[in-house]
Amino acid sequence: MLAGATVLALAAVPACSSKAPGGDGASGGDKDEFVVGYSQANNAEPYRAQLNLQLKYFAGKHRKLRLLPIADAKQSSATQVSQVQNFIQQKVDVLIVSPNEPAPLTPAVKQACAARIPVIVLDRTVNTDCYTSFIGGDNYAIGKRAGERAVKALPKGGKVAELRGVLSAQPQIERHRGFQDALKGHGVEVVAHREAKWLRANATQIMQQWLQRGTDIDLVYAHNDDMAIGAQLAAESAGKARGIRFLGIDGLAIPSGGIRAVQQRKLLATYLYPTAAKEAARTAAAAASGKKVPKKQVLKTEEIMSGNAERVYERYDMSGKLG
């Protein structure tokens, strides 16, 4: 999928920036193995669980890459900082990180940069540009497209409830901002919004509370599919799902993901947010070898509705490869 990414800049990574555990001083291109450490924000999110599986698969396609067991921060910034510092102490050749929150992780990323370890940041930004490459989607554009769909779904105006991810996370900020901008001047109003931290259980509980209070909702916009599905389940249990539309983001091609939910008419639409696993493995292999890699890789999105859901699912289904 790298060919479908928008490459914005190139960053030179010196060959001597890699330091393997117990290394013998060989330059990047001469090494037999490149050790990769990856700190994941939260394995409990389906998107991130799928990213992990795909990264293991794609890393295995690069003969010299050895991916260490993926470290799960469990949505704790303190835990993630400790994980990154541990990888630095191990002198990994490449560090990959999906930040839980930008600010707490920034000093640890700077430490990795100071240790001349190539750093690949996935999905969420950090407050420094010392990293080697950032790979992720255009969250503002995704939020805006979701907002435009909400306007089309509510041509006479309406009331929207918004289920937001972790409030300090950049994807949440951009998905919210893009959505809000698309609604302006169309009579569609966000009447309720809460932080559900990307989790289905949180979204289900929040939706139940809204419905119990009698909040008038025409459409739910969730910042990921798992929250959208959780809200839909709550509405279905309350006997109110038919009168409410649901929008999500991620578009995972897995049985419990957003594409299947669209096919089952539980979601009106979802928006593809590529895992970036293939690009991450390719970039790690290149950076460890001292090659130039894109400083920023913005991956394309796609609106998924009932008319194209089957085709998109087939295109991204990796069940036969991941086992």
- Which residues are registered as beta bridge partners of 94? 36
Distance between CA atoms of residues 106 and 103, nearest Å: 5
For the four alpha carbons of 44, 137, 277 and 35, in that order, the dihedral sign comes to negative
Tokens of 29: 């291109």
DSSP state of 27: -
Same fold yes or no, 2-136+275-299 and 139-272: yes
- Radius of gyration for the chain, computed over Cα atoms and rounded to the nearest angstrom: 20
Q: How many residues does the chain have?
A: 323
| Vertex 46: Cα angle to 89 and 204 (nearest 5) | 125
On the CB side of 222, CA atoms within 13 Å amount to 33
pTM: 0.88
Q: What is the CATH number of domain 139-272?
A: 3.40.50.2300
Instruction: Please name which of 136, 101, 129 lies closest in space to residue 113, comparing C-alpha atoms.
Output: 129
Residues in the chain where the model's pLDDT stays below 70: 1-29, 323
Distance set, CA 128 to CA 111, 121, 148, 275 (Å): 11, 11, 32, 22
- Which residues are registered as beta bridge partners of 250? 272
Distance between CA atoms of residues 15 and 312, nearest Å: 39
Query: 2-136+275-299, what's its fold?
Result: Rossmann fold (3.40.50)
Distance between CA atoms of residues 234 and 85, nearest Å: 41
Residue spans per domain, the chain? 2-136+275-299, 139-272
* One-letter identity of residue 112: A
**For residue 11, what pLDDT is reported?**
43
Instruction: Please name which of 213, 215, 214, 222 lies closest in space to residue 245, comparing C-alpha atoms.
Output: 222
* One-letter identity of residue 19: K
H helices of 97-162, where?
A: 102-114, 139-153
Instruction: Report how many helices (DSSP H) and strands (DSSP E) the chain contains, helices first.
Output: 11, 14
